[in-house]
Structure 1
Amino acid sequence: MQPSSNYTLLYPRQIEWESFVQQKPDIPFADNVIDFLNALSSTILKDRTARIYPDVVTFAFFCRKANLLSLKEKYTNPNELRLGRGLLFHIAPSNVPINFGYSLVAGLLAGNSNIVRVSSKQFPQVDLVIKHLHILIESNQYDEVAKRIVLVRYDRSSDASAFFSSICNVRVIWGGDATIQTIRQNAIPARSFDVCFADRYSIAAINPDAILSASDTDIKKLAESFYNDTYLFDQNACSAPHTIFWLNNDKLEAAKTRFWEAVHNYTAEKYQLQAVMAVDKLTAFYRQAVCVDIKKEVMPDNVVVRTELGELPTNIEDYRCACGYFSEYTIDSLYEIAPIITIKYQSLGYYGFEREDLIKFVKHNRLQGLDRIVPIGETTAFSLTWDGYNLIEMFTRILSII
């Protein structure tokens, strides 16, 4: 075995590849994995620095034992015999810092060893989690699980992806379409396969009646939830809504005013808009105005930029922009959205709709896209079912004994 040396080993401090690739798979949700992740959660939550980063805190809460046991009950079947597939090679995206952690956790819970390429960009959230992984391994209490983890960083010029691809049982690619095509140029073993999370587009739908009937406290919570879905990752996450659909009624304008005022007030206090993004938003508006019938809505500043669509183009996703740029369109029914929903659509965040109505919307229109329909505030919340994949099933194999 001739491993590439063109990478930086972040965790552990040294590695013997011959031993690492010989590790055997485990059952899903093994007790020692749950204990390890719970310990990681505990040490992160005790770190005051972690409080600066809401995404790190959310990740730590996801790793708590109580949550993992709940997931175990949901994602395992006592009548099935499953084992991990062996070695997973994860390529984390560059737009969501903590995503590498969730991908790793899914791999561990499924019973696998894991090589994770973290983003070549420097993120303090990544460094913080890695610091606490080192703290755990130095305690010598979780060696059996800790040795299943390798974290590396390298840039596009490295040949490391070729080596890691050549030894993996599953390759997990998070990134845009171009990233996936580039990584796929590296061969994987005959029985291995890719699980790809490609470039996606997300939307939201709001019922004005729910906005106007909500208390001031509820509206403030909704504004915070919307902020977390969008601005927390600069609207770069695939799950961040870009187009907002409003149900049409005689209270629509009042509802819009109440909602956007709350969003702007919360965002103006929390978010630092870079000058270059203000320019990008203006450029995005001019580009959209050339191609689509739109009107720019009046807002106090560039923190929130809104465009009202006079028509709904089938390629609305081509006019996205980051850091708080939203297109809005008025509909009489959710069914009016269906014609534009392609396989590229990932999440629908909603407010003021009944679950049964959303189920009927999906079934009646036999949607090819939209893998997640969740309340506003939950679009970025990680789940072991993502982009239509049950990750535990994808990362394990089922054994038949007759």
Structure 2
Amino acid sequence: MLKSGGVVIPMRLNTDRSRIVYDKLNFIFPLNADLDKLGLIPSVKPFDDGICRLLSILSKALLNNPESKKYSDIAAFAFWCRKGNIELMKKERVLDLRLGRGVVLHIAPSNVPVNFAYSMVAGLLAGNINIIRLPTKSFEQVNIICDTLISVLEMEEFEKYRDFVTLVKYDKDDEINQYLSSICDVRIIWGGDNTIWELRKVPLKPRAFDITFADRYSISVIDSEKYRMEENPKKVAQDFYNDTYLFDQNACTSPHFIVWVGQERTIGDAKEMFWSELYKIVKSQYKLQPVQAVDKLATFYTAAANMDIIEAEMPDNLIIRAKLNKLSEGIEEYRCQGGYFYEYSAESLEEIIPIINQKYQTLSYYGFDKQVFKSFIGSGLKGFDRIVPIGKTLDFSLYWDGYDLISTLSRIIDIL
């Protein structure tokens, strides 16, 4: 359970509107939050020494917490915000004369437990005061991270930074959204397209702006000859499993479509190896829910009515493979979770360019040299903001969805 116990304690209210809103908010930290005064707190420079130390202590505390070790996503987050990685991210940047923009409101997605923590850290590293709306669904990962973060913030050396983090929970509520939007300088919205459309109806301050992370679609490309010659095909399949099944393909980075590149004979051999290895992993590590099995079949039949596809043979429906006989625009509209994949055989990467649109976020790959993608990008792609090796799709970066988060969340001060 969260240390706060989810207690709602309205404090020091300045307006009638904030009083009404406070009564609806579930403050996790701090319990005596005064949101009206957050705008008066000075921002700090990106990669502020105190913030970096706070995150380093948080990383150590999470890595040493026995409860954290039960969850790979917590371990990944803790490893990402360790001291060495933060120093590396800082060295990669020319920070010039920058300060955080002020108050950043983070609307976290409901289906990825640890996403709120990455968003918060980006806001902190950019030098901002942060209000984080936590997922309304109950996730033990959220409880563990919040409890650990609160214990670190309560240390005496971090007293200065306690107001830099406000953790809240609340149900969908126009009044709350209007109030929080009125006091923020940046609003970060992680969620579906409908969530973004609804929140965009809520006005911001004249100089404030939105950063939106909408519904996206991701794919994998595999060099069939390289995979056919791979000495450890099981590892590649395990990496792919981690990219997809750990979040039931709910993450925008999770691939739904595999493009096999090469000659027909080598593609056939590579497919047989890959799906055999992946099936063994899924069968031993994943539990398919009955509703997912139904959803996958329904998705296939819907897609088959609109695209030229056939179902490839598998032992059961732990994995459903829909083979595309020809590329179809709008394939991203027929997606499903729980192990549902489209696949297509191509002689070159360039074959898929016509169907790529702005919905496409992450391209994960195996067997390709980076130089190949430089020319691929130069062909005028309409989509893809990330190109990463298979097994790395869930790795968070301060460059996300085409945004440089530190630059976007901070302002540069020009001195002539």
TM-score normalized with structure 2 length: 0.93
Contact 1:7 1:158 in 2 (8 A): no
Q: Aligned Cα RMSD in Å?
A: 1.2
CA distance in 2 between counterparts of 1:38 and 1:397 reads 25
Q: In structure 2, what is the equivalent of residue 93 of structure 1?
A: 109
Q: In structure 2, what is the equivalent of residue 9 of structure 1?
A: 27
Q: In structure 2, what is the equivalent of residue 212 of structure 1?
A: 228
* Within-5 A mapping of 1:119-130: 119-130=135-146
Contact 2:127 2:410 in 1 (8 A): yes
Q: In structure 2, what is the equivalent of residue 380 of structure 1?
A: 394
Match for 1:142 among 158, 176, 195? 158
* Within-5 A mapping of 1:186-335: 186-216=202-232, 219-249=233-263, 250-335=265-350
Report the 3-state secondary structure (helix = DSSP H, G, I; strand = E; otherwise coil) of the residue aligned with 1:381.
coil
Contact 2:38 2:103 in 1 (8 A): no
| Cα deviation 1:38-60 (Å, max 9, x = unaligned) | 11111111111111111110000
CA distance in 1 between counterparts of 2:333 and 2:37 reads 47
CA distance in 2 between counterparts of 1:108 and 1:254 reads 48
TM-score normalized with structure 1 length: 0.96
CA distance in 1 between counterparts of 2:384 and 2:31 reads 41
| Matched AA of 2:158 | Y
* 1:54 has 2:72 as partner: yes
Q: Which runs of 5+ in 1 are unaligned?
A: none
Q: In structure 2, what is the equivalent of residue 67 of structure 1?
A: 85
Q: In structure 1, what is the equivalent of residue 382 of structure 2?
A: 368
* Within-5 A mapping of 1:334-353: 334-353=349-368
Percent same amino acid at aligned positions?
44
Q: In structure 1, what is the equivalent of residue 374 of structure 2?
A: 359
CA distance in 2 between counterparts of 1:17 and 1:193 reads 19
Contact 1:97 1:126 in 2 (8 A): yes
Shift of 1:295: 1.3
Shift of 1:138: 3.0
Runs of 4 or more, structure 1, over 3 Å off, are none
Shift of 1:158: 5.4
Q: In structure 2, what is the equivalent of residue 20 of structure 1?
A: 38
* 1:43 has 2:61 as partner: yes
Contact 1:235 1:323 in 2 (8 A): yes
Q: Which runs of 5+ in 2 are unaligned?
A: 1-13
Contact 1:245 1:329 in 2 (8 A): yes
Shift of 1:137: 2.6
Shift of 1:301: 1.9
Q: In structure 1, what is the equivalent of residue 177 of structure 2?
A: 161
Report the 3-state secondary structure (helix = DSSP H, G, I; strand = E; otherwise coil) of the residue aligned with 1:26.
coil
| Cα deviation 1:107-145 (Å, max 9, x = unaligned) | 000000000111111111111100101211333231222
Shift of 1:177: 1.0
- Between 13-22 and 42-51, report the one with greater CA deviation: 13-22
CA distance in 1 between counterparts of 2:300 and 2:99 reads 51
Contact 1:294 1:308 in 2 (8 A): yes
Report the 3-state secondary structure (helix = DSSP H, G, I; strand = E; otherwise coil) of the residue aligned with 1:147.
helix
Shift of 1:215: 1.1
Match for 1:110 among 115, 126, 129? 126
Contact 1:28 1:76 in 2 (8 A): no
Contact 1:87 1:169 in 2 (8 A): yes
- Between 58-67 and 151-160, report the one with greater CA deviation: 151-160
CA distance in 2 between counterparts of 1:76 and 1:344 reads 31
